Every structure is written in C-alpha cells, then in structure tokens.
C-alpha cells in the first residue's frame, strides 16, 4: 500500500508529508462582508511555479483553515487529525477513475508561507516576467512586430510606385513656402482660438453655468482600471516596452490574506534599487498582523501607512500623470483589483555636490553655489531664508522633455501681478523642451531682438536671497545651476554680491570702477578711430607725433588695425574658454603676449593699438554679469564703425540711439532704466551705495506689498543712554 501511495503522490506532483516546507501562520475566520472569504485554493486559482512554493500534500484548504479545523485548534492537533485521516483513507485503485477534486494538486493557501527562504533570490532590478508581466510582454511584442511589418510593407509599396511631382508653372520652392506660411497661419489661428475659448470660458456668468449641458470626457484623463493587465498594457505602450529595455517591471505578492498580486514599475538609472527593495518590496511582501478592523478596511490606506519610511507617497488614478511620474524617477505600484496606483519617490540618479561659484567669485562672502539638482538649490535658499511665507510653485515646460521649473517668491512681499505674469508666460510655452535657463529667458522676455539681458542670472545663494527680500521672483529650471531673477534692471546687473559686505565708501569706489570699465569697453576703440581719422587736432602734439611715428611702417588705416586686434583678442578669449583643463588660461595669457609682439614686429599694427585693445579686454572682465559683458563687447564693434565713418558725430549719434534702446526695454513690464527712467527717489542704491543702516525702503518700481525693509532706526542700541565705553 505504501508503494502505491508514493506513486500516487508523484503522479499528482505531491511530496511526502515529512518534507512539508510550509508553516501555518494563523487561522482566518470567515468574516461576513469582509475582504477575505473562504475559497478553495485548488479551484479556479491560476498560480505559477515562481509565485507559489512547493505543492502541499495536505487536504484541501479554505482561506487558511482545514476542512475540519476550528480557529482555536493548534498546529499539533491539526497534525494529529491529518495522521488519523491519512491512516483511515484507503488507497485508490489505479484502474478507478479519479475525480476532478482529487486530480488537481492542493496548493498552499493564503494562511501559509515558506518556512525556509528561497535558495536563489532574484537579483534586484532584473525584470520578473511571470504571469501578468509575461502576458503583457508577449502582447506588446506581437503589436510591435505587426506595426513594423506593416511599415515595411508600406515602404515597399510606396517604393515601387512612381510618384510624379505636381505640374505647376511656379518654382519648385513656392508650394513648400506657401505650405510653411499656411502652417504658421493655421497654428496662430489655433492659438488665438484656444485663447479666446479660455477667455470666454472664464467670463461665463453664473446663470449660464447653472444650465444643464452635455458633459464632455476629459481627454487628458485616463483612469486606472482594476484590471492589472490593462494598466500594464497602457504603461508598456507609452514607453514602447519591451523595445525600450530601460523600463523595469517587477511582479510580487503582497503579504495579505489572501495574497494580493502587485507590480512595481520604474525606469532603470532614475530610481534607486536599494530604496525600492527596502522601502517598497520588503514592507509589502511582509505585510501581516492586521487587526480585525483592518481586515474590513480599504487596503490602500493601510499600505500607505506601512510605507512611511519613504520620502513621498501619494495615490493617483490618472495613467497619463503616472507616466510622467515614472519619467521623473518615481516608482509606481499597481495592485490587482484596486483602481488606484501608488506613487513612491525613489529617484536616485547621480548629482553634483555643492561647489564654489565659478562666474561670480567674491573675496568676502559665501562661497557656495547652486547645482543642477532643483531640490538641492531650493533647499539652499530655504536654509538662508527661513520664512514660512517663502512659496515654491512647480511648473512643467516642454511637451517632450517635461522640464520641471520652480517659481520662488515671498507670499506677503512679491507683487501678485508679477507672479501671475511670469506663470502665464511659462505655462503658455508650446515647445518640445527647454534645456537651459538661457533658453527659458529668451522665451519669456519682453524684447527678443536686443542684446541686453532682461533677467539677472546668478548661481549664488546670497544674491538670490537678497533679490527675494526685495520682492523679486526667482525662476529655477531642473538641470541648470543658474537662477533667473525677475525683474532686473541695468543697475542691478552692475552690482555684485560683495557690495553689501563692503563699507559704503569702498563699495561706491568699486562701483565707479565697474562703470568706468563699461564706458571704456564700449567707447574707447571707437573714440581712438574717430580722433585719429577725423579730429587729430584734439590730440596733444607730443602724443600725436608719437602715434604718427609709430604708424609710418603700418600699411593699414587705424580702423583696420583696431578690428584685426579686437578679433584676435576675442579669438584668444573664446579658445581659452573652450580648451579644457589648465591650458585654457595659459593659452589666453601667452597667446595674447606672443601675438601682440609678433604683430608689432611685423609692422602690422601700431603699438598704441595693442595698448588700447589690452585695456579694452581687461575692462570687459570687470563687468559682473557675463551676458551684459557680451552685449557690450558686441556694441563696441558698432561704435568702431560709427567712429570710422562719421567721427565724433557718429559716436554721439550711436550714444543717443543706444539710450533710446535702453529706455524702450522692459523686464516683466518694469522699465530697464528704473528708477532713473522714470525717475524716482525711493531707491538710492544705484551709482553710490549709501549707509546700510539708512537703506530703509525697498525699490518702489516693483510695487511690493511691504515697501519697508527695516525700521527707520535700525540700530536701536544708539537710543540707549548707556553707550559702550562710557563710564558711569
């Protein structure tokens, strides 16, 4: 009899009872109306070998209970009953037909788990393709294969068919140009129609809103379905999986009773596998010990409570938003039968540490600068400005890249119209991607045809906090270490972060040097060309004779000399920036010296021209804002041409035109020359820096809510009758 029983066990894929690897955890009663009901695991259950453990030779189990077992019975009593039943059971004849219930193997129910861990745990990060994931992968592979075959057949058919160009009496480029103009016109009409539709929607009266109307489905909302396979199909099609191997699927069982099937999805390289393992998989797979009240409660709130070790957890029911969260580095968890998905913040890509400022170096003051990580840059601001009224609003720009922007301002200080205007411009951008703060600046600025920067780009934390305290708005872009400050004026671009760390007289002197360097950079080469060519009587006699003696051997006029050396200096400067390592600065210094000496020795230029070009180049490095220095360097060539053609009259004409251009510029609606154009006397921190204890008011051209930054008497200690050092 024992031999035939052993053969029957092998035929039904059962193992001897003494090698049973399962341990009874706890018994579960049949709660009426609860989440767990008594079901026979052997009937209607589809479990794969990787999902379950070794099959059990015990009798059929219903919801973790034996057929004749009560919740109060212990494990020893259960084993005794099983021994009695096995001894009383007669062996079945091989010729006798087997019933369906006896033919099906008995799998362990939800009340059991593996007593011994798996010998070969799966490697974290490798996609586990079992059951639902494998089925979805096969479906998507077949769809991609069919689409590729249809595209190939379509290309072959189009290649065999000879298409003749349309017969027209106009040039071949005319249709394409007309189509391009028509496309732009249609795009403009669509944008205007969309804007008009939004305006009409906002202006709808309350009576019209109360009228019944046919509800239109939201095109941007794709709900999460209770069917796990349908959700995985949508995510897989969105990321072109499995063609794109960077999307990782991991299927597992939540440790509830009965077990719940779940799948986590994340992008390789953006999510941290260790955070997924410790913060998601382990808590969910070991989810047990639920009370009677928790058994009947919804499952999603309980799961969120068990995952409190993660940084950010939220639930979403829109698949389009879930796709964006996966692209941002989050991990998504889908559950079978639950029309919601769990979003867990697990981003873990490499980040650059906080380093010193490169373009805005100072001697006295903070040395740290922003980096490419948006969260790190914002945290650096919050560390210096610990005000709960500091607001950070998240915006998304770009249809493809979905770049994250951060709008930072003080709620009780910044002008609300300024904040709304910046948000409106950023949200209305219709572009594929915005990859740098410079591109974002050009897309939202008022005047796009000028050279002057209409925002202040800074990488320093202290300068950004100072702008926020004045009532300005700061814009950050993910992946760019520079912050854009709005609005900005020409005077603010000539200030440095070190000004307020210096005493008033020292800071005023340094500002005067910077303004003088700006004038030298723009006007000195053109003034030399105008004076030597049209007004030599203005030059002192000794200097004029020296210039004339040095120019005897030079075959070129003054304007050609200046242009040759200016272009050479700009070439050396650009090459020094692009060459990596320590060779760049060395090349700039050595190259300029050697080139200047060689040009003078070859009688190509006048030595006076070398001196003028060197002074002009050094003056360009004294401009604090790099974008402003680039604009002034370009305008320098315009003044050289005006001085060579019209003399001093040309310089005067160019200066007047230059002032008109500056006066017409605006930064988010604020005049570029404010507070001088229009003239106001509230802000005295322009050319000269006043006493720091007298700077009571904020700039009035910003329209801030609180115009005062400090009390009229900021130094309250001077009111004390007992001053320091006086004897009583």
The predicted-structure confidence for 510-569, as pLDDT tens digits, reads as follows 999 999 999 999 999 999 999 999 999 998 988 889 888 888 888 999 999 999 999 998
Range of the domain at 303: 228-344
CA atoms within 13 A on the CB side of 250: 22
Residue pair 24/112 in contact (Cβ under 8 Å)? The answer is yes
Quick one: 728 exposed, middle or buried, by C-beta within 10 A (0-12, 13-18, 19+)? exposed
Residue pair 66/58 in contact (Cβ under 8 Å)? The answer is yes
Three-class secondary structure assignment of 628-683: HHHHHHHHHHHHHHHHHHHCHHHHHHHHHHHHHHHHHCEECCEECCCCECCECCCC
Phi-psi region of 725 (alpha: psi -120 to 50; beta: other; left: phi over 0): left
Q: What is the pLDDT of residue 247?
A: 92
Please state which of the ranges 111-125, 408-422, 621-635 shows the lowest mean pLDDT. Answer: 111-125
- Name the token pair of 655: 């200066």
Q: Is residue 167 part of a domain?
A: no
Residue where a domain terminates, one of 671, 697, 714: 671
Q: What is the pLDDT of residue 627?
A: 93
**Selected residue with higher pLDDT from 674 and 680:** 674
Given a cut of 80, whether residue 431 has pLDDT beyond it is yes
- Name the token pair of 510: 């340094």
Query: CA distances (Å), 354 to each of 345, 556, 624, in order?
Result: 22, 51, 22
Q: What is the mean pLDDT of residues 97-122?
A: 40
Residue pair 45/308 in contact (Cβ under 8 Å)? The answer is no
Q: What is the mean pLDDT of residues 712-721?
A: 83
How many angstroms separate the CA atoms of 469 and 467, rounded?
5
Q: What is the pLDDT of residue 187?
A: 58
| DSSP character at residue 163 | P
Given a cut of 70, whether residue 126 has pLDDT beyond it is no
Segment of 50-64, 210-224, 495-509 carrying the highest mean pLDDT: 495-509
DSSP notation for 322-390: HHHHHHTT-EEEEETT-S-EEEE--B----PPP-B-SSS--SSS--BB--S-HHHHHHHHHHH---TTE
Q: What is the pLDDT of residue 76?
A: 46
Do residues 469 and 568 share a domain? no
The fraction of the chain above a pLDDT of 90, given in percent, is: 37
Q: What is the pLDDT of residue 592?
A: 80
The tens digit of pLDDT for each residue in 266-306 reads 999 888 888 888 888 888 888 766 655 455 567 788 888 77
Residue 396 pLDDT level (bands cut at 50, 70, 90): very high
Do residues 334 and 467 share a domain? no
Residue 43 pLDDT level (bands cut at 50, 70, 90): very low
**Selected residue with higher pLDDT from 713 and 515:** 515
Q: What is the pLDDT of residue 101?
A: 40
Residue 369 pLDDT level (bands cut at 50, 70, 90): very high
Q: Which residues contact 200 (CB under 8 A, 6 or more apart)?
A: none
Do residues 382 and 334 share a domain? no
How many angstroms separate the CA atoms of 18 and 56, rounded?
11
Q: What is the pLDDT of residue 285?
A: 85
Query: CA distances (Å), 189 to each of 186, 201, 431, in order?
Result: 5, 18, 17
- Name the token pair of 560: 């050609």
Residue where a domain terminates, one of 79, 114, 149: 114
Do residues 528 and 622 share a domain? yes
Q: What is the pLDDT of residue 591?
A: 80
Count up the domains in the chain and report the number.
Answer: 4
Residue 148 pLDDT level (bands cut at 50, 70, 90): confident
Residue where a domain terminates, one of 344, 363, 383: 344
Do residues 658 and 552 share a domain? yes
Q: What is the mean pLDDT of residues 705-715?
A: 88
Q: Is residue 519 part of a domain?
A: yes
Do residues 510 and 572 share a domain? yes
Q: Is residue 88 part of a domain?
A: yes
Do residues 312 and 413 share a domain? no
Write out the E strands in 173-259: 247-254
Given a cut of 60, whether residue 260 has pLDDT beyond it is yes
Please state which of the ranges 57-71, 171-185, 306-320, 479-493 shows the lowest mean pLDDT. Answer: 57-71
Q: Is residue 16 part of a domain?
A: yes
| Closest CA relative to residue 332, chosen from 140, 320, 244, 298 | 320
Q: What is the pLDDT of residue 257?
A: 77
Do residues 395 and 282 share a domain? no
Backbone angles phi, psi at 249, to 5 degrees: -110, 135
Q: What is the pLDDT of residue 500?
A: 86
Q: What is the mean pLDDT of residues 565-586?
A: 82
Do residues 252 and 339 share a domain? yes
**Selected residue with higher pLDDT from 187 and 119:** 187
pTM above 0.85, yes or no: no
Do residues 477 and 546 share a domain? no
Given a cut of 80, whether residue 26 has pLDDT beyond it is no
Q: What is the pLDDT of residue 150?
A: 84
Do residues 508 and 482 share a domain? no
Q: Is residue 367 part of a domain?
A: no
Q: What is the mean pLDDT of residues 202-212?
A: 43
Q: What is the pLDDT of residue 40?
A: 40
Q: Is residue 340 part of a domain?
A: yes
Q: What is the pLDDT of residue 442?
A: 94
Q: What is the pLDDT of residue 269?
A: 87
The fraction of the chain above a pLDDT of 70, given in percent, is: 70
Q: Is residue 474 part of a domain?
A: yes
Helices (H), 40-172: 75-88, 100-103, 132-160
How many angstroms separate the CA atoms of 502 and 362, rounded?
11
DSSP notation for 211-228: S--PPPPPTT--BPPS-H
Q: Is residue 173 part of a domain?
A: no
Given a cut of 50, whether residue 713 has pLDDT beyond it is yes
Given a cut of 50, whether residue 575 has pLDDT beyond it is yes
Residue 391 pLDDT level (bands cut at 50, 70, 90): very high
Q: Output the average pLDDT for the chain.
A: 77
Q: What is the pLDDT of residue 283?
A: 85
Q: What is the pLDDT of residue 63?
A: 35
Please state which of the ranges 70-79, 156-165, 316-325, 396-405 shows the lowest mean pLDDT. Answer: 70-79
Q: What is the mean pLDDT of residues 44-58?
A: 38
Do residues 625 and 562 share a domain? yes
């Amino acid at each position: 009899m024992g031999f035939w029983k052993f053969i029957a066990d092998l035929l039904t894929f059962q193992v001897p009872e003494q090698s049973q690897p399962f341990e009874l955890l706890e018994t579960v009663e049949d709660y009426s109306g609860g989440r767990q009901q008594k079901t026979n695991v052997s009937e209607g259950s589809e479990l794969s070998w990787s999902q379950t453990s070794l099959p059990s030779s015990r009798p059929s189990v219903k919801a973790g209970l034996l057929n004749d077992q009560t919740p109060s019975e212990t494990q020893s009593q259960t084993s005794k009953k099983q021994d009695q039943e096995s001894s009383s059971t007669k062996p079945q004849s091989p010729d006798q037909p087997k019933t369906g219930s006896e033919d099906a193997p008995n799998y362990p129910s939800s009340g059991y788990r593996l007593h011994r861990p798996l010998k070969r745990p799966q490697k974290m990060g490798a996609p586990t393709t079992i059951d639902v994931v494998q089925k979805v992968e096969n479906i998507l592979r077949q769809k991609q294969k069919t689409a590729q075959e249809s595209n190939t057949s379509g290309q072959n058919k189009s290649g065999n068919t000879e298409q003749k160009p349309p017969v027209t009496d106009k040039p071949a480029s005319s249709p394409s140009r007309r189509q391009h103009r028509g496309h732009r016109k249609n795009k403009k009409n669509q944008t205007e129609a969309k804007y008009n539709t939004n305006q009409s929607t906002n202006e709808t009266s309350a009576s019209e809103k109360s009228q019944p109307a046919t509800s239109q489905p939201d095109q941007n909302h794709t709900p999460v379905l209770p069917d796990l396979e349908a959700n995985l199909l949508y995510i897989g099609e969105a990321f072109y999986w499995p063609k794109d191997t960077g999307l990782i699927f991991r299927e597992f069982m939540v440790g509830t009773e009965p077990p719940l099937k779940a799948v986590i999805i994340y992008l390789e390289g953006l999510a941290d596998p260790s955070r997924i393992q410790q913060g998601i998989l382990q808590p969910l797979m070991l989810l047990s010990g639920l009370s009677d009240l928790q058994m009947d409660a919804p499952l999603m709130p309980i799961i969120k409570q068990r995952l409190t070790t993660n940084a950010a957890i939220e639930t979403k029911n829109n698949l389009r938003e879930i796709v964006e969260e996966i692209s941002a580095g989050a991990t998504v968890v889908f559950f079978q039968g639950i029309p919601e998905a769990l979003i867990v913040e697990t981003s873990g890509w490499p980040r650059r540490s906080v380093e010193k400022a490169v373009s805005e170096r100072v001697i006295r003051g903070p040395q740290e600068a922003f980096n490419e990580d948006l969260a790190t840059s914002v945290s650096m601001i919050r560390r210096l400005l610990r005000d709960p009224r500091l607001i950070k609003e998240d915006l998304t720009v770009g249809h493809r890249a979905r770049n994250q922007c951060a709008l930072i301002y003080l709620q009780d200080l910044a002008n609300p119209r300024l904040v709304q205007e910046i948000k409106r411009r950023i949200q209305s951008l219709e572009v594929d991607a915005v990859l740098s703060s410079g591109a974002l600046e050009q897309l939202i600025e008022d005047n796009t045809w000028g050279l002057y920067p209409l925002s202040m780009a800074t990488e320093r934390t202290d300068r950004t906090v100072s702008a926020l305290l004045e009532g300005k708005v700061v814009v950050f872009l993910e992946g760019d270490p520079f912050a854009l400050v709005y609005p900005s004026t020409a005077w603010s671009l000539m200030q440095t972060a070190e000004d307020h760390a210096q005493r008033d007289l020292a800071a005023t002197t340094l500002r005067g040097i910077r303004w003088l360097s700006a004038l030298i950079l723009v006007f000195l080469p053109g003034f030399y060309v105008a004076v030597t060519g049209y007004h030599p009587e203005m030059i002192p006699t000794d200097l004029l004779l020296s210039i004339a003696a040095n120019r005897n051997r030079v075959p070129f006029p003054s304007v050609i000399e200046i242009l040759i050396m200016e272009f050479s200096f700009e070439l050396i400067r650009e090459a020094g920036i692009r060459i990596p390592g320590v060779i760049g600065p060395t090349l700039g210094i050595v190259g300029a010296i050697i080139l200047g000496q060689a040009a003078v020795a070859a009688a190509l230029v006048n030595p006076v021209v070398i001196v003028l070009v060197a002074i002009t180049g050094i003056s360009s490095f004294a401009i604090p804002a790099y974008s402003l220095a680039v604009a002034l360097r370009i305008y320098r060539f315009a003044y050289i041409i005006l001085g060579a053609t019209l003399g001093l009259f040309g310089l005067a004409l160019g200066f007047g035109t230059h002032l008109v251009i500056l006066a017409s510029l605006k930064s988010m609606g604020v005049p570029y020359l404010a507070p001088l154009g229009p003239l106001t006397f509230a802000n005295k921190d322009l050319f000269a820096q006043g006493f720091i204890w007298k700077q009571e008011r904020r700039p009035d051209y910003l329209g801030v809510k609180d115009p005062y930054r400090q009390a009229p008497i900021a130094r309250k200690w001077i009111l004390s009758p007992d001053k320091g050092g006086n004897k009583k």
